[in-house]
Amino acid sequence: MGTTGIGRVARMPRSASGLIAILVACSLGGIADEAPISPSPARPSWASAIGMGCDHAGTWADFAIAGVVQRMRWIPPGHFIMGSPPQEQERAISGGALPEWVSGETLHTVTLTHGFWLGDSVVTQGFWVAAMGTNPSAHISADAELPVDSVSWTQCALFNATLNTRVPGAQARFPSEAEWEYACRAGIDEPYGGLTLEQVGWFRANAHGVTHPVKQKLANPWGLYDMHGNVFEWCGDVYAAYRLSDVSDPVGPPAGASRVRRGGAYQCLAYDCRSAMRFHGAIEDSQDVSGYRLCLSTQEHGTAP
């Protein structure tokens, strides 16, 4: 297991009693000598045997299909400032006016009233193949730990539906755009989570024109890797301008031609990989820069799509 931006991930005890002790510590608000965390959710039905625990980044649970594991991180409800100020580092593009997708980053307060589970990395080729039986990746397909690429929004919707059929209680879905940015920021109002892009992501200056295995860079404080660069991540929302008011649980308009993509990719410049940066594409667009990060609802909250 790799390191995070705030230290090495604590080793989880293998015994059931050790796991119970950690879960109790999580529910009480944290582990001694670690940063405080939000109370844990109930154990999800999809969590693999003794595949749930807690560390300095919060609560995690392992989701397995055909023996391949995707670690999921619990993202608690809360609120944050979505978008970016005009003076944000890397937002201003030298030599011209701001393009529409940057100037559309209007600052507004978002409240998320339900917690959710989010993959600690983008979906790997190995996990996709375990679920779907084939590998759609057209960029590089030689390593199971590489992110799946060349997937359209429609293919990701089918991936979610397949998981929901094969794994009882999964409630797999797209993250909303607001959920994605909230998780990406992890409580830090900086373009790259308080670190440099070099530390957290693969982009044009360091990727050398290829994707890289997941979890090679530092994670954010909530234990999420590769939120910046490597491959774009599809969200559930139809792309539209932000509302000019504070909102709760926004999900975008009910219909439209394009869906949101976030996070930037290995071919992108630094400003494309900022926490607030917005991209979009047609639902059948399967460019080799497009990937996916799995989101799971709690049993009490099944958000569509």
The superfamily CATH assigns to domain 3-296 is paralog of FGE (formylglycine-generating enzyme) (3.90.1580.10)
Please tell me which residue, 83 or 28, carries the higher pLDDT value. Answer: 83
* Domain boundaries, given as residue ranges, for the chain: 3-296
Residue 219: its H or E element? none
CA distances from 42 to 20, 46, 87, 144 (A): 13, 11, 42, 31
Give yes or no for residue 9 having a pLDDT over 50: no
Query: Quick one: pLDDT at residue 97?
Result: 57
**How far is it, in rounded angstroms, from Cα 220 to Cα 277?**
17
| Listed residue (219, 166, 197, 214) closest to 264, CA to CA | 197
- The answer to whether the bond into 250 is cis (omega within 30° of 0) is no
pLDDT in tens, 130-143: 999 999 998 887 78
pLDDT in tens, 80-130: 999 998 888 677 654 455 666 566 888 999 999 999 999 999 999 999 999
pLDDT in tens, 178-214: 999 999 999 999 999 999 999 999 999 999 999 999 9
* Pairwise CA distance, residues 43 & 35, whole Å: 22
On average, the pLDDT of the chain sits at: 85
| Residue range 238-263, pLDDT digits in tens | 999 998 889 999 999 999 989 999 99
